[in-house]
């Protein structure tokens, strides 16, 4: 025999260890691990993309929240316009009641409304109130 590690030592290797099947098992495991790693990475990437996609739509600052804010803003804008119109009406009525430019018709209207007062020259219509049990007349 020769020196250790020489070509002649390799001949004495156990043939069961150098079988082609033994090498196939290792290669198969290595390929399986590579495929599983790739599958795990793609799955993780898909889950992250899905998570951020769902939050972009349903989250606190997502598309749904933007639509809700837009609806709220439209409702509040309409409410603001209604209140500004009402404020302008009240300012006009208050301006008519000021002492330097007092409108006698406005004053007379308010006094009559508050005191349930009617002048002797006013034309008054007395309407009968329908009773709650009475049925309305048929046409």
Please tell me the distance from the alpha carbon of residue 132 to that of residue 129, in angstroms, as a whole number. 9
| Annotated domain spans of the chain | 19-58, 65-117
By the 8 A CB rule, do 24 and 31 touch? no
Q: Both tokens of residue 82?
A: 């209604």
pLDDT of residue 30: 83
**pLDDT 10s digit of each residue in the chain, 139 long?**
455 555 554 556 666 665 555 555 455 678 888 999 999 999 999 999 999 999 999 988 889 999 999 999 999 999 999 999 999 999 988 887 776 777 778 778 888 888 887 777 877 777 888 777 766 666 6
Please tell me the distance from the alpha carbon of residue 57 to that of residue 67, in angstroms, as a whole number. 10
The total number of residues shown for the chain amounts to 139
pLDDT of residue 125: 76
CB atoms within 10 A of CB 28: 10
Question: Whole-prediction pTM value?
Answer: 0.42
């Amino acid at each position: 025999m020769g020196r250790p590690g020489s070509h002649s030592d390799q001949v004495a290797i156990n043939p069961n260890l150098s079988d082609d099947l033994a090498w196939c098992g290792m290669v198969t495991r290595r390929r399986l691990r590579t495929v599983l790693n790739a599958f795990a990475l793609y799955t993780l990437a898909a889950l992250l993309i899905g998570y951020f996609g769902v939050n972009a739509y349903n989250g606190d600052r997502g598309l749904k929240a933007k639509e809700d804010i837009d609806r709220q803003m439209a409702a509040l804008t309409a409410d603001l316009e209604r209140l500004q119109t009402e404020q302008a009406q009240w300012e006009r009525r208050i301006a008519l009641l000021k002492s330097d430019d007092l409108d006698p018709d406005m004053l007379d209207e308010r006094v009559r409304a508050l005191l349930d007062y009617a002048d002797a020259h006013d034309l008054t219509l007395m309407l009968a109130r329908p009773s709650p049990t009475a049925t309305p007349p048929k046409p």
